[in-house]
Amino acid sequence: MELICPAGTPAAFREAVDAGADAVYCGFRDETNARNFPGLNFTRDELTEAIGYARRRGVKTLVALNTFMRAGQEDIWYRAAADAVKAGADALILADFGLMAHVAETWPEQRIHVSVQASASNAEAVNFLVDAFGARRVVLPRTLTIDDIARLARQIRCEIEIFVFGGLCVMAEGRCSLSSYATGRSPNMNGVCSPASHVQYRREGDALVSVLGDYTINRFPAGEAAGYPTLCKGRFHVGDKDGYAFEDPVSLDVMDQIDRLRDAGVSALKIEGRQRGKAYVAEVVATLRRALDASAEERGRILARLRLLSEGNRTTAGAYEKRWR
Amino acid sequence: METRQPTLTLGPVLYLWEGETWRDFYFRIADEAPVSHVYIGETVCSKRLHFFEPYLADVIGRLEGAGKQVVLSTLALVTIDREIRHVRATIDGSAYPVEANDLSALGMLRGRPHVVGPMVNVYNGATARLLAARGADAICLPPELPAASVNRIVADVPGVDFEVFAFGRVPLAISARCAHARSKGNIKDNCRFVCGDDPDGLPVLTLDGQPFLALNGVQTVSHTCQSLLGELHDLAEAGVSRFRLSPQHCDMVAVARIHDDVLADRTDADEGIARLRAVYPAAPLSNGFHEGREGAAWVARARNTAHGVNA
Amino acid sequence: MMRLPTFFSMLAKHVPLPVIQQAAAAMLTQIVRRHGGLFERLGEHREKRYAFLPSDLPLAFLVEPAIPAVSVSRAQRPPAADAAVEGPLFMLLALMEGRQDADALFFSRDLTVTGDMEAMLALRNALDDSGIDLPGDLGAMAGPLAPFVSRAASGVRSRVLAEGNPSWN
């Protein structure tokens, strides 16, 4: 199984390559990808340079163009695709059907990977994308159990990539407008979720309150670690209770299931986190590389230390385990 | 440009309503509501199917008898085999057009006339054209789309009937996990259908008590009720063919009549909005998505002048 | 949270402001010279003013990337800024060198960010990419004395870092 690693900056890209990535995924510094955060991502020149750096070390580069094209401005996405192809991207990670059709027609040899944002959650959906656009790999949404994945793998005609470590979307990806409901900016249209431009922290006595747009998303009493106000990971009032209505601030970790995932037919394991720093990327990639290469017995010990890097120091297997639902 | 007068449609009931209530709701729609198309079928959770299936034939019969075009809607999140089989059975056995709300249905419907639902990501003309080439003859655009995108897509792709989400709490997200069941101490696999206790959704408030969202099983909808009543004429002029009214727990016949009155110029938009607020007082109105702003916002329009903002 | 040795604090209190100002300006010039892409990556946020408020020093630093300029003031009179980050000096330094994870900046209650979050996030990401290495950068500035300065800076850094929790969160 390949290890697919995130890079938000050229520095993080080099760290990922050096730490043992089989492939690194990244995006341009604009709204064409779903991590369109301030100060993040690559210029055309930086991408070309990064691809060269990776290629010389036998590592692939996957370029994410995984937002949905704004009507009337499709050229921004078409140009990004042309530039990524020209720079030598090994695959484009796409979500928009119109963009997939454009890439498949213009560069029939170019590998298309289906982004998790496309929300292909079953065999029929995946085969639709294989038939329509020649997709070679699908990144599955984090809504399936490992058994679901195994069943699906037997029925589809392309490779499977799944997220194994990092941030966890509680909602089906690519189908969530919570962020734009509160801020006007969404993952699908703008490549952002709960954008920093709409975030405020406010002190209320000893408590720290995080606010997104006009809405209080969380309140942290003194001594409790604070979190970023990602909407679906906020504390709300439902019924007669205050609490995490959708998901606790935890992150995904299914690396202890590597053997089951391999048996299920998974080709590639993906680490979330293009928005995280190079130190994090280096540490996580190196550790998961060692875990992937180690025996099952050694693996637990190698993975234990990763928990420290996770949001709230807690992890979940998410939808990969049925009980999560 | 089409000159045909746009019509109203009734979207699928998103919530879990008790079987007989569901049936009586549609009977009344059939008899009284000025809508051309009625979408029926479960789109949110496959576990709910058995609640209304016993009444399905009667409801379809009544709607057809009243001259409504029936469209069968399908699940928005399809993961397990049982759900795939259900979508396939709906499509294969259907004498009616089917609305695709997920990619699996899109694949199965290739080459047959069908409707693309608002849960499929159509953000541009290129995507709409591609879906039209595969057999879609109508597309309900995602509620998140701003007017600029709607206008552009409609202009870019002639020959498709475009529908916009004109009334109702906006479906904002769907999850494999059931926050509704969890809020009452259950999990999805043993949910006891607690979502049936909240026929208009379970309110999600901020810690300050500010209404924000509502839970509808695995789906999250907005607290506000989207209303494009003030924008109907502009959208019609841009070439939009249909306006979707998404059922809430209120008098939907009255909601349809208000929209019909505004479309036919029997009522002006301001009066229509006032009437709408009286019919559905449970949620404030919003049209922020349409204006390219936060979806929860309400942008009041002064007729033929600059927009006034009253969020 | 542990504090810097009182020594540093005393030093900051007794060295005249203009001297600190001059040293900080020289340091900024050196960083900009050695890491040209740093401020370019800020994009539109280059025009913003960033305040760094070490909670264990009686000083406040205001950085204006567009000029570029840095000004130092006494902590009692913090400068007007678009975005400010306050916390122990070792964390601010780690942030500067990109040794601190982006998200940790928000998770940790030891750092407080106020004002324009987008600008602060842009700065953090730009710093993360820039590869600033204070001992190396400052050593390069000092000419013939470089090895000495570099060694001294390394020593300070390791001592300062040893006081803090080196893990994320």
Going through chain A in order, the beta strands assigned E by DSSP cover: 2-6, 23-26, 60-65, 91-94, 112-114, 137-139, 159-166, 199-204, 207-212, 215-220, 235-238, 241-244, 251-253, 268-271, 315-316
**Alpha-carbon separation of residue A224 from A246, A280, C47, C168, C169 (angstroms):** 19, 22, 34, 15, 11
CB A98 within 8 A of CB B124: yes
User: Looking at the complex, does the CB of residue A312 fall below 8 Å from at least one CB of chain B?
Assistant: no
Ramachandran sector of residue B201 (left: φ over 0; alpha: ψ -120 to 50; beta: rest):
left
Q: Which chains touch B (3 or more CB pairs under 8 A)?
A: A
Compare B156 and C149 and report the one with higher pLDDT.
B156
- Per-residue pLDDT averaged across A188-209, rounded? 92
Question: How many helices, marked H, and strands, marked E, lie in chain A?
Answer: 11, 15
Nearest to C107 among A11, A29, A311 (CB): A311
Per-residue pLDDT at A99 exceeds 90? yes
User: Looking at the complex, does the CB of residue A317 fall below 8 Å from at least one CB of chain B?
Assistant: no
The predicted pLDDT at position B144 comes to: 96
User: C73 in helix, strand or coil?
Assistant: strand
Per-residue pLDDT at B291 exceeds 80? yes
Per-residue pLDDT at C166 exceeds 50? no
Domain boundaries, chain B: 7-170+222-286
- Per-residue pLDDT averaged across A19-36, rounded? 97
The predicted pLDDT at position C1 comes to: 38
**pTM score of the predicted model:** 0.92
Per-residue pLDDT at C169 exceeds 50? no
pLDDT digits (tens, 9 = 90+) for A46-57: 999 999 999 999
- Residues of chain A with Cβ-Cβ distance to C132 below 8 Å are none
CB A161 within 8 A of CB A113: yes
State which residue of chain A sits closest to B221, comparing Cα positions: A178
Phi, psi at A273, each rounded to 5°: 130, 40
Please classify residue B231 by burial: count the beta carbons closer than 10 Å to its beta carbon, then call 0-12 exposed, 13-18 middle and 19+ buried: buried
CB A252 within 8 A of CB A316: yes
pLDDT band at residue C98, thresholds of 50, 70 and 90?
confident
The predicted pLDDT at position B304 comes to: 43
Of A71-75, A265-269, C43-47, C71-75, minimum mean pLDDT range = C71-75
The pLDDT mean for chain B works out to 94
The predicted pLDDT at position B309 comes to: 41
Q: Which of A177, A211, A212, A218 to mutate to test the interface with B (most CBs of B within 10 A)?
A: A177
User: Looking at the complex, does the CB of residue C98 fall below 8 Å from at least one CB of chain A?
Assistant: yes
DSSP state of C76: T
Cα(C138)–Cα(A242) distance, integer angstroms: 51
B178 is in an annotated binding site: yes
pLDDT digits (tens, 9 = 90+) for A204-233: 998 989 999 999 999 999 888 887 889 999
- Superfamily of structural domain B7-170+222-286: Enolase-like C-terminal domain (3.20.20.120)
pLDDT digits (tens, 9 = 90+) for B7-58: 999 999 999 999 999 999 999 999 999 999 999 999 999 999 999 999 999 9
Q: A96 CA to chain C: closest CA distance, Å? A: 27
Which one of 3.10.105.10, 2.40.50.1070, 3.10.450.50, 3.30.1050.10 gives the CATH number of domain C6-133? 3.30.1050.10
State which residue of chain A sits closest to B224, comparing Cα positions: A181
Domains of chain A as residue ranges with CATH: 2-168+250-324 (3.20.20.70), 194-244 (no CATH)
Cα(A296)–Cα(B247) distance, integer angstroms: 53
The predicted pLDDT at position B308 comes to: 39
**Do A71 and B177 make contact, defined as CB atoms within 8 angstroms?**
no
CB environment A163-196: b (16+ within 10 A), e (fewer): bbbbbbbbbbbbbbbbbbbbbbbbbbbbbbbbbb
Cα(A132)–Cα(A104) distance, integer angstroms: 9
Compare B194 and B3 and report the one with higher pLDDT.
B194
User: A254 in helix, strand or coil?
Assistant: coil
Per-residue pLDDT at C6 exceeds 70? no
Cα(B16)–Cα(B12) distance, integer angstroms: 11
Phi, psi at A268, each rounded to 5°: -145, 140
Compare A121 and A49 and report the one with higher pLDDT.
A49
Cα(B181)–Cα(B248) distance, integer angstroms: 20
Beta bridge partners of C62: C51, C71
Token pair of B18, please?
Answer: 């008790």
Q: A126 CA to chain B: closest CA distance, Å? A: 8
Task: Kindly calculate the radius of gyration of chain B based on its CA atoms and give it in whole angstroms.
Answer: 18
**Do A96 and B108 make contact, defined as CB atoms within 8 angstroms?**
no
Cα(C120)–Cα(C62) distance, integer angstroms: 13
DSSP letter for each residue of C1-59: -----HHHHHHHHHS-HHHHHHHHHHHHHHHHHH-THHHHTTGGGGGS-EEEEETTSSE
B225 is in an annotated binding site: no
- Residues of chain A with Cβ-Cβ distance to B295 below 8 Å are 177, 180-182, 184
Is chain C touching chain A, with at least 3 CB–CB pairs below 8 Å?
yes
CB environment A105-133: b (16+ within 10 A), e (fewer): eebeebbbbbbbbbbbbbbbbbbbbbebb
- Residues of chain A with Cβ-Cβ distance to C124 below 8 Å are 39, 277
Per-residue pLDDT at B302 exceeds 60? no
Compare A65 and A201 and report the one with higher pLDDT.
A65
Per-residue pLDDT at C8 exceeds 80? no
Per-residue pLDDT at C167 exceeds 70? no
The predicted pLDDT at position C23 comes to: 86
The predicted pLDDT at position A309 comes to: 63
The predicted pLDDT at position B289 comes to: 98
**Do A38 and C119 make contact, defined as CB atoms within 8 angstroms?**
yes
Strand C59-64 versus strand C50-54 pairing type: antiparallel
The predicted pLDDT at position B2 comes to: 44
Nearest to C128 among A197, A201, A277 (CB): A277
The dihedral of CA B11, B16, B17, B19: what is its sign?
positive
**Do B126 and A188 make contact, defined as CB atoms within 8 angstroms?**
no
Cα(A140)–Cα(A136) distance, integer angstroms: 13
Cα(A154)–Cα(A122) distance, integer angstroms: 11
Closest CA to B189 of B218, B220, B161: B218
**Do C107 and A279 make contact, defined as CB atoms within 8 angstroms?**
no
Closest CA to A24 of A58, A59, A66, A53: A59
**Do A236 and B102 make contact, defined as CB atoms within 8 angstroms?**
no
State which residue of chain A sits closest to B108, comparing Cα positions: A124
The predicted pLDDT at position C146 comes to: 63
- Per-residue pLDDT averaged across C73-92, rounded? 88
DSSP state of C98: T
- Residues of chain A with Cβ-Cβ distance to C109 below 8 Å are 208, 220, 223-226
Q: Where is C75: in which H helix or E strand?
A: none
Rounded to the nearest 10 degrees, what angle do helices A44-56 and A10-19 cross at? 10
The pLDDT mean for chain C works out to 78
What is the interface size between A and C, counted as CB pairs within 8 Å? 101
The predicted pLDDT at position B125 comes to: 98
- Percentage of chain C with pLDDT > 70? 72
CB A288 within 8 A of CB A16: no
Residue with token string 């099952």: A296
Provide CB contacts within 8 A for A33, sequence distance 6+.
A27, A41, A64, A65, A66, A67, A191
pLDDT digits (tens, 9 = 90+) for A291-306: 999 988 888 888 887 7
Per-residue pLDDT at C165 exceeds 50? no
Q: Which of C45, C117, C127 to mutate to test the interface with A (most CBs of A within 10 A)?
A: C117
Beta bridge partners of C31: none
pLDDT digits (tens, 9 = 90+) for B57-75: 999 999 999 999 999 999 9
Q: Which chains touch A (3 or more CB pairs under 8 A)?
A: B, C
Cα(A304)–Cα(A285) distance, integer angstroms: 14
The predicted pLDDT at position C156 comes to: 60
Closest CA to B160 of B147, B171, B175, B150: B150
The predicted pLDDT at position A203 comes to: 86
Q: Distance between alpha carbon A110 and the CA centroid of its chain, in Å?
A: 22
Rounded to the nearest 10 degrees, what angle do helices C89-96 and C117-130 cross at? 70
Token pair of A154, please?
Answer: 């037997």
**Alpha-carbon separation of residue C5 from A248, C52, C162, C166 (angstroms):** 39, 19, 12, 18
Per-residue pLDDT at B251 exceeds 90? yes
Ramachandran sector of residue A72 (left: φ over 0; alpha: ψ -120 to 50; beta: rest):
left
Which ipTM did the prediction report? Answer: 0.94
User: Looking at the complex, does the CB of residue A203 fall below 8 Å from at least one CB of chain B?
Assistant: no
Domain boundaries, chain C: 6-133
- Residues of chain A with Cβ-Cβ distance to B205 below 8 Å are 236-238
CB A20 within 8 A of CB A291: no
Cα(A40)–Cα(A10) distance, integer angstroms: 9
First-to-final CA distance of chain C = 13
Per-residue pLDDT at C91 exceeds 90? no
Chain C segment 27-86 residues within 8 A of A by beta carbon are: 41-43, 45
Of A148-157, B236-245, C154-163, minimum mean pLDDT range = C154-163
The predicted pLDDT at position A24 comes to: 98
- Per-residue pLDDT averaged across C1-19, rounded? 67
